[in-house]
Chains A and B, each alone.
Chain A
């Protein structure tokens, strides 16, 4: 296992290195540089442009820039963003990453759960109207044109009905007097989500280990109690209103993402379930006279999970990668929108930094799911 992790990390570093190299030369290969961004600006004489070039190190040959870039990247210095001039790239990105993480982890979790639930039900009852309806509507939503769909959602729920705010991730009026930054709230939200998941897992584990006699229904109120404690802690902390504001802004993008992506998980679950349903142990469980729901959830669905967990990596990567689309539609200032804005304004250090971060996030998702896989499937052992 340790060896595998080491090898995996090595692969990650190599991939990152390739992403860095690729983006650098891609950016180098295009004509002009940041100074030519001001080519139509009559206030800037050529000498000033040369000064800008010298200040950003753009007057050196490409290979020299590349080596400097590599050295800087691996020492954690991503340079200064041209667009947000005095701020370093790392500073800009560290500010935006938690926003992307909160939004897309929530959306992935919700859509994954819904997709799994529907897929299970679909495989269990084949051929009915339910199957046709869910397959077709799922595929239609799955292939819906995301930007247009997102804008229609904004139009319907934010503009016409007025249930949710139109865009952005917070309401400046609510935050005017606040003495904490948005990132502080985001960080705490991530922390409490992690704490809640850890708590729920712990409860499950304890029940499994010590309480064979206790029905698993008992876990539910305990987990719910934990959730209530966390909510109460937020309400008492004084920044609960701010968090609520963020959550209000999150509802629409999360709903859009869920509607778009649950179908992938649903159809995969259906296929995977169809294969496990034919196994002998499912037949045996039914022959024993176990309730239908139990056979479906405990015997068939659990074994059908494996390929679905693999697909979780792809949906996570797709979500992080596709963040550009959703974030630009909902003006959610995360990494994706940062990348798009940087690309449009030729803010090259920020482009490379954002690519690096997006690449790092998707690689991290890859490794986490690989490790998760070992725990789920006892047949797999990495050497």
Chain B
């Protein structure tokens, strides 16, 4: 975010130095402080075994997502391995069980399951991160503004949040996706807006309220800081750790919502883990149990693993953000 031009004198650490250099030093000092608090938090995060495990899982999935375009460009022939239009001609029977050529077998339409899995990973990340950014962007801004200005603005946004929490979200998404052609981007946007104006806004607002009464806000005001300066430079940076935490939870719910809607066959997207299970289900392969495991297990396990990795990373972050949850060193 752009730092708005502060009203009044720039709060430089040393006065008397020319303003340009003072500003640079100020920014540097600030960066150093941020680095130090990041290192502290990182240390606490590293202590949590579950947090590290989930971080490695997320990184593994990110590598999978990155691997797909490389494999498609250099190793795999698009006619056979394209996740949507490919067809494996050398298999007599589709779905074919795993083989050297198709490590995870093929689906009922003769497409390579591994390729579908890797291709979908990228779109899950795009979806989850877009939804999380939208949610947290809206929620942070709404929370900070509602806490800072209070009164009418506060009442309006909090009633709106109450209202959105009471809305049956999945039913709403089902109605929406059945009636319109929702693609990944619109879905992320809808989930983000619902989350951003809903529950997350309430949590971030209560955090912003406790920051608003801290002495440094008053100091900033006495120094002549304008409203926007205070909100963007002093309040929002303190909301970011908590916002990051809620980003994690939003990613989980976004991926989950996408999977459910795809499973019901209501989304307009090329390929996703939910669609893979949908394809297996409409062909009746799901009730084959373990016989056609490669149609269900990779996609189902990926949804579970990635969702729970983001969720558990969120829990570990919770211990960083919320000192009361940490274990006492006694």
* Chain A residues within CB distance 8 Å of chain B: 11, 14-15, 18-19, 22-23, 26-27, 29-30, 126-127, 132, 135-136, 139-140, 142-149, 151-152, 154-156, 159-160, 267, 271, 274-275, 278, 314, 317, 320-322, 324-325, 328, 336, 339-340, 343-344, 351, 354-355, 358-359, 362-363, 366
Whether B289 lies near A324 (C-beta < 8 A) is no
| A320 CA to B167 CA, complexed, in Å | 11
| Nearest CB in chain B to that of A12: its residue | B166
**Given A145, A322, A343, which contacts B170 in the complex, CB threshold below 8 Å?**
A322
Decide if B168 touches A151 in the complex (CB within 8 Å).
no
Question: Contact: A274 with B324, CB < 8 Å?
Answer: yes
Q: Which residue of A lies closest to B312 (CB)?
A: A139
Decide: A27 near B324, CB < 8 A? Known: A336-B171, A343-B174, A359-B167: no
The answer to whether A148 touches B325 (Cβ under 8 A) is no
Known contacts A18-B163, A267-B315; A274 and B325 CB within 8 A of each other: yes
Number of interface residues of B (CB under 8 A): 46
Contacts of A362 in B (CB 8 A): 166-168
Do A355 and B315 form a contact, CB below 8 Å, given A145-B304, A151-B287? Answer: no
Say whether A321 contacts B178, CB under 8 Å. Answer: no
Given known contacts A148-B300, A355-B168, A30 and B308 CB-to-CB distance under 8 angstroms: no
Residues of chain B within 8 A of A317, CB atoms compared: 165-166, 168
Contact A343–B179 (Cβ < 8 Å)? yes
Given the interface pairs A274-B325, A324-B170, the reply to whether A154 lies near B287 with Cβ below 8 Å is: yes
Cβ contact within 8 Å between A132 and B163 = no
Q: Which of A160, A278, A328, A359 contacts B168 (CB 8 A)?
A: A359
Instruction: Report whether B163 and A145 are in contact in the complex, using a CB–CB cutoff of 8 Å.
Output: no
0/1 per residue, B161-202, Cβ < 8 Å to A? 011011111111011101110000000000000000000000
Q: Is the CB of A145 within 8 A of B300?
A: yes
B171's partner among A11, A144, A321 (CB-CB below 8 A) is: A321
Chosen A-B contacts, 21 in total, with CB atoms closer than 8 Å, are A15-B163, A15-B167, A139-B315, A145-B256, A145-B263, A145-B304, A148-B299, A151-B286, A154-B287, A155-B286, A155-B289, A275-B324, A314-B165, A317-B168, A320-B168, A321-B168, A324-B170, A340-B174, A343-B179, A354-B171, A358-B168
Q: Which residues of B contact A366 (CB under 8 A)?
A: 165-166
Closest beta carbon of chain B to A31's beta carbon, Å:
9
Given the complex of chains A and B, what is the CA–CA distance between A321 and B252 in angstroms? 17
Q: Is the C-beta of B58 less than 8 angstroms from some C-beta in chain A?
A: no
Q: How far is the CA of A328 from the CA of B178 in the complex (A)?
A: 15
CB distance from A95 to the nearest CB of B (A): 19
Report the minimum CB–CB distance from A284 to chain B (whole Å): 18
Contacting residue for B178 out of A159, A325, A343, CB 8 A:
A343
Contacts of B325 in A (CB 8 A): 271, 274-275
Does B287 contact A27, Cβ atoms closer than 8 Å?
no
List the B residue with the shortest CB-CB distance to A270. B325
A159 in contact with B50 given A142-B308, A142-B311, A144-B304 (CB within 8 Å): no
Closest Cβ–Cβ distance, residue A18 to chain B (whole Å): 7
Question: Mask for B243-277, Cβ within 8 A of A = 1, else 0?
Answer: 00000000010001001100110000000011001
CB distance from A126 to the nearest CB of B (A): 6
Residue ID in chain A nearest B177 by CB atoms = A343
Which residue of A has the minimal Cβ distance to B328? A278
Give 20 A-B pairs besides A322-B170, A362-B168 with Cβ atoms closer than 8 angstroms.
A11-B163, A29-B179, A132-B49, A135-B50, A143-B252, A143-B307, A143-B308, A145-B259, A151-B281, A152-B296, A275-B324, A321-B171, A324-B174, A324-B264, A325-B170, A325-B260, A344-B178, A355-B175, A358-B168, A366-B166
**B288 to A, closest residue via Cβ:** A155
Main secondary structure of the interface of A (DSSP, over half): helix
**Interface, chain B (partner A; CB < 8 A):** 49-50, 159, 162-163, 165-172, 174-176, 178-180, 252, 256, 259-260, 263-264, 273-274, 277, 281, 286-287, 289, 296, 299-300, 303-304, 307-308, 311-312, 315, 318, 324-325, 327
Closest B residue by C-beta to A127: B327
Inter-chain contacts of B169 with A (CB < 8 A): 321
Residue of B49, B180, B264 touching A340 (CB-CB under 8 A)? B264
* Chain B hits for A15, CB < 8 A: 163, 166-167
Name A140's closest neighbour in chain B (CB-CB): B308
List, in ascending order, chain A residues with CB within 8 A of B252's CB: 143
Nearest CB of A to B15, in Å: 44
Query: Which of A151, A314, A340, A359 counts the most B-chain CB atoms under 10 A from its CB?
Result: A151
Query: From residue B189, how far is it (CB to closest CB) to chain A in Å?
Result: 16
- Separation of A278 and B325 alpha carbons in the complex (Å): 10
Residues of A within 8 A of B327 (CB): 126-127
Contact A339 B166 (CB under 8 A): no
Residue of A nearest to B263 (CB): A147
Select from chain B the residue with minimum beta-carbon distance to A359: B168
Give, as a whole number of angstroms, the nearest-CB distance from A101 to chain B.
15
Highest count of chain B CB atoms <10 Å: which of A15, A267, A278, A354: A15
Q: Tell me the smallest distance from the CB of B137 to a CB of chain A, in Å.
A: 23
- How far does the Cβ of B306 sit from chain A's closest Cβ, in whole Å? 8
Q: What distance in Å separates the Cβ of A137 from its nearest Cβ neighbour in chain B?
A: 10
